[in-house]
Chain A
Amino acid sequence: MKNLSIFLFACLFATFALVSCGEKEDVTPTPTVSLYERLGGIAAISAVVDQFLANVVGDNVINARFAPTVADPFRTQLLRNNLIDQICAGAGGPCQYKGKTMLEAHTGMQITEAEFNALVGDLVAALNQFNVPQKEKDELLAILGPMKSDIVGQ
C-alpha cells in the first residue's frame, strides 16, 4: 500500500513535469515565412514595442492615460509584455497573449478617435524608425486595425 502511494506520487510528479516541459516545444513549423519571421522575431518586435511605448510616453495627446502605468514598474512590464505577445502572436510567432481582451482592457476609458489615431501614429513612427518595409507595416496594422471598435468609445 505504502509502495503504491509512493508510485502514484511519482507518476503524478512525472505527469506535471511532462505537461510543463511539453508546452515550450510546441511550435508548429509554417510552410510560408510568417510576418513574425519577416519582422525579425522576438528581439525585433520587442525593440519596436519599446520604441512605440517611448513614443506614447512622450506624446502629450495620450500620455496622461498611461501615467499610472509608467509610475508602476510592474504595470509597465505587464503592458509592454502584453503588447509584444499580442503583436508576436498576431504575426504568427510562438507567443501566447495572456492579457485581457481589447474590450475588457479599454472599457470605461472612453478613448476618442483622435487618441486612437495618435497611438497608431506612435506605432507607425516606431516602425518607420526601424525601417520596417511597407508590406510588413500594412500587414501589422491590418491585424491591429479591427481592434478599433473594441477600443474607441468604450
Chain B
Amino acid sequence: MRFFRFSIAVFALVCLAGWFLLRQPYSPTQELQAVSYTAFNVVVPDSIAGFSLAQAARGWEGVTASTFNPASGLLVVSHTAKITERDLLGHLQILSSKPVSKKNFPEPVGAKCPVPQAALANLPNWLLGTGIIMGLTFVLLSIAQKKSHTLELSA
C-alpha cells in the first residue's frame, strides 16, 4: 500500500512537472472559435458578380470572412463549424445558378508524424489533468490510511 501511494505521488509530480515545463503562456486567441478556409471554383459573368457572391456569403451564420479573386476565379470562405462545406456549396450554387465546385488543395506528401498534431498540442492539458487526479488520489489514500490506522489504535 505504501509503495502504491509513493508511486502515485511520484507519478503525479512527474505529470505536474511535465505540464509546468510544456505549458504555453495564456493568450486570448485560445478562446477564439476554430475556423476553416474553403475555396470554391465559381463561374461568374464578371468580377462584380463574384464580389457580390462573396459579400452575400459574409452574411451567412458561421462565416467569418469571404473573398473573391477575379484572377484565380476562386471564392474563399473562412467559416466556423456552424456552417459546413456542403451548406456553403449549396448556398453558392443557388446564388450563382452555375455549377460551383470545391477546390481541393493537395495534402502534403512524404513522411508524416504518426502522432496527431492536435494530441501533441493537448499534451500539457493531459499532464495537468492526470497530475491533479493522481494528486487527489494520493491525498484520499493518505486520509483513508490515517483513519484506518487511528481505528486500529483505538480498537
Contact = CB atoms under 8 A, between A and B. Distances in A.
Interface of A: 2, 5-6, 9-10, 12-13, 16, 19-20, 23-24, 42, 46-47, 50-51, 53-55, 57-60, 63, 66-68, 70-78, 80-81, 84-85, 88, 93-96, 98, 125-126
Of A13, A54, A72, A81, most B-chain CB atoms within 10 Å: A54
* Chief secondary structure at chain A's binding surface: helix
Given A71-B106, A74-B118, A75-B117, A88 B65 contact: no
Nearest to A89: B27
Interface of B: 9, 13, 16, 19-20, 23-30, 32, 34-37, 39, 64-69, 71-72, 74-78, 104-108, 116-118, 121, 132, 135, 138-139, 142, 145-146
The 4 closest A-B pairs by CB, nearest first: A58-B69, A68-B108, A50-B65, A60-B72
A12 B139 contact: no
A16 B65 CA distance: 39
Contact of B74 (A42, A58, A75, A81): A58
Contacts of B146: 2
B37 A60 contact: no
Contacts of B77: 54
Given A24-B26, A57-B39, A51 B78 contact: yes
A95 B28 contact: yes
B28 A88 contact: yes
B16 A53 contact: no
Given A54-B66, A71-B108, 17 more contacts: A2-B145, A16-B20, A24-B26, A42-B28, A42-B29, A50-B35, A50-B64, A51-B78, A57-B39, A63-B39, A63-B105, A71-B106, A74-B116, A85-B27, A88-B28, A95-B28, A95-B29
